[in-house]
Amino acid sequence: MAPYKISVAGTGYVGLCTAAGFASKGYEVIASTHDPEKADKINRGIPPFFEPHLEELLKEAVSDGYLKCEVGRTEAVKKTDITFVAVGTPSQPDGRINLQHIQDCAREIGEALTEKSSYHLVVVKSTVVPGTTQNIVKPILENGSNKSCGKDFGLCMSPEFLREGSAVHDTLNPDRVVIGEHDKTSGDTLHNLSREFYSEELPPIVRTNLPTAELVKYANNAFLATKISFINQIANICEKTSGTDVNIVANAIGLDKRIGSQFLRAGLGYGGSCFPKDVKALIAFSTSLGYDPLIIKAVENVNRAQPYKAVKLAEKALGDLKDKRIAILGLAFKPDTDDIRESTSIKIINRLLENGASVVSYDPAAMTNTKKIFGERADYAPSAIECIKGANCCIVATAWEEFKQIKPRDFIQNMKTPIVIDGRRIYNPEEYSCELDFTAIGLGQ
């Protein structure tokens, strides 16, 4: 029997993967939410969102009795030794993060702590700007519990780096664990838990203070977003330089060990629930300190413009887009998820509709979410081939594996005019351009 009992506040990607991850290794885990419908689903082993392998893990954890989900957080905290806070920190219109859920959650944990006599560790996993854990979470916990942080209870900040689509794998196999600690006992407790959890596969542990751990998460995501915007700029230069191909450039520079090959896939820009929000929050945070973060602002600017390159390429091929039928393959912000938050496809579809085009789309997982946004303003197809049928142009916006199986002859046989814009570089340009009117991001033609 594992010595620590774990509670996890929040049942999004981070919360549920953390909860299921601990439960899969034999920890008793209580996840908590305020949504009874979500709790009911989780207690039946069904994740409230699509994430590969999470359902298997969850079903097993629930049926073995290691994981349950409760409505409300107080009991979960009282019955456990360590609470992970994984509630959302959404963007506000000015880019700053909204701390409402963090504050509400800290209040509930504080209340629960009044009734606890044993030591309890609170670990913030949500992405928060430097100073939040020390200056906002800690006072709420202390005031709510009438207890002293560092003595009666502990406090850490440990950012999560999981990617949607491989969230389960990333939770169980992180590149490192960052432990921001309020005091040594707090840090030692989380360090012990990590040793126990990862056992022989303990990743490097970085121990530091709370604000540094908070900044690590932003620096990490901003750096990855920088790599993407950088290669997208090179792609845009390639497009203006006959004979060049950004993929060959990316491959060659990626072989330089100082650069590394990952996150150099040029395309229509980054989306999702993290990069756009975190880049904006870091800009707002830095600006609030009186420092103008030029590089990070440029990353954001490049990314804002990038999706519309697909629309420009469609205009270049077709002229006026009014009444033209444009097929969009891929709606999720990346493959293997149904998440369309900040998805580039949504921006592209909006622009196409503004330009009077008729839009038909298909995605293996994200149709339901997309229909909620566009309703009857767009058409939806039941398969990729149905989607391209009769279209004047096809834009590939998400690199789903199944789109890679579509051959030039499929486009030729099904489309009205076989014009294909590869926004994610999934096709070999040599093979596709000899048969089709084919263009791709980052190809100088």
Active site residues: 274
- Contact segment (CB under 6 A) with ligand UDX among 182-190, 221-229, 237-245, 430-438 equals 221-229
Distances (CA, A) of 413 to 104, 391, 409, 435: 57, 11, 6, 12
Q: Where are the alpha helices (DSSP H) in 44-147?
A: 54-63, 74-78, 100-114, 132, 138-145
Q: How far is the CB of 303 from ligand UDX (least distance, A)?
A: 9
Whole-number Å distance between alpha carbons of 415 and 385: 9
Residue 228 is a binding residue for ligand UDX (CB under 6 A):
yes
Beta strand residue intervals within 258-331, DSSP E: 325-329
Tokens (6 digits) for 256: 């330089």
**Are 337 and 265 within 8 A, CB to CB?**
no
Residue 271 is a binding residue for ligand UDX (CB under 6 A):
yes
Q: Considering the complex, state which of residue 181 and residue 336 has its C-beta at the smaller distance from ligand UDX.
A: 336
Amino acid at 88: G
Query: Considering only residues 159-188, where is the footprint of ligand UDX by CB under 6 A?
Result: 160-164
Q: Considering the complex, state which of residue 149 and residue 366 has its C-beta at the smaller distance from ligand UDX.
A: 366
Contacts of 304 (CB under 8 A, 6+ apart): 269
Three-state secondary-structure class, residue 245: strand
CA 258 to chain centre: 25
Residue 275 is a binding residue for ligand UDX (CB under 6 A):
yes
Residue with tokens 């929040």: 10
Q: How far is the CB of 416 from ligand UDX (least distance, A)?
A: 29
Residue 125 is a binding residue for ligand UDX (CB under 6 A):
no
Q: How far is the CB of 221 from ligand UDX (least distance, A)?
A: 6
Q: How far is the CB of 267 from ligand UDX (least distance, A)?
A: 4
Query: Considering only residues 318-337, where is the footprint of ligand UDX by CB under 6 A?
Result: 333-334
Whole-number Å distance between alpha carbons of 29 and 65: 9
Judged by CB under 6 A, which of 119, 198, 263, 374 binds ligand UDX? Answer: 263
Residue 16 is a binding residue for ligand UDX (CB under 6 A):
no
Residue 221 is a binding residue for ligand UDX (CB under 6 A):
yes
Residue 270 is a binding residue for ligand UDX (CB under 6 A):
yes
In the complex, residue closest to ligand UDX by CB:
274
**Are 29 and 67 within 8 A, CB to CB?**
yes
# residues contacting ligand UDX (CB under 6 A): 19
Residue with tokens 């990617």: 163
Whole-number Å distance between alpha carbons of 256 and 254: 5
Q: Considering the complex, state which of residue 351 and residue 424 has its C-beta at the smaller distance from ligand UDX.
A: 424
Residue 97 is a binding residue for ligand UDX (CB under 6 A):
no
Q: Considering the complex, state which of residue 28 and residue 160 has its C-beta at the smaller distance from ligand UDX.
A: 160
Q: Is the dihedral of CA 395, 389, 349, 91 positive or negative?
A: negative
Q: Considering the complex, state which of residue 321 and residue 328 has its C-beta at the smaller distance from ligand UDX.
A: 328
**Are 174 and 140 within 8 A, CB to CB?**
no
> Within a 10 A sphere around the Cβ of 105, how many other Cβ atoms?
26
Judged by CB under 6 A, which of 21, 267, 293, 364 binds ligand UDX? Answer: 267
Residue 51 is a binding residue for ligand UDX (CB under 6 A):
no
CA angle centred on 23, ends 31 and 61, rounded to 5°: 90
Residue 10 is a binding residue for ligand UDX (CB under 6 A):
no
Nearest-CA neighbor of 343 among 363, 360, 358? 363
Q: Considering the complex, state which of residue 295 and residue 412 has its C-beta at the smaller distance from ligand UDX.
A: 295
Q: Considering the complex, state which of residue 76 and residue 162 has its C-beta at the smaller distance from ligand UDX.
A: 162
* Interface contacts to ligand UDX, rule CB under 6 A: 160-164, 221, 224, 228, 263-265, 267, 270-272, 274-275, 333-334
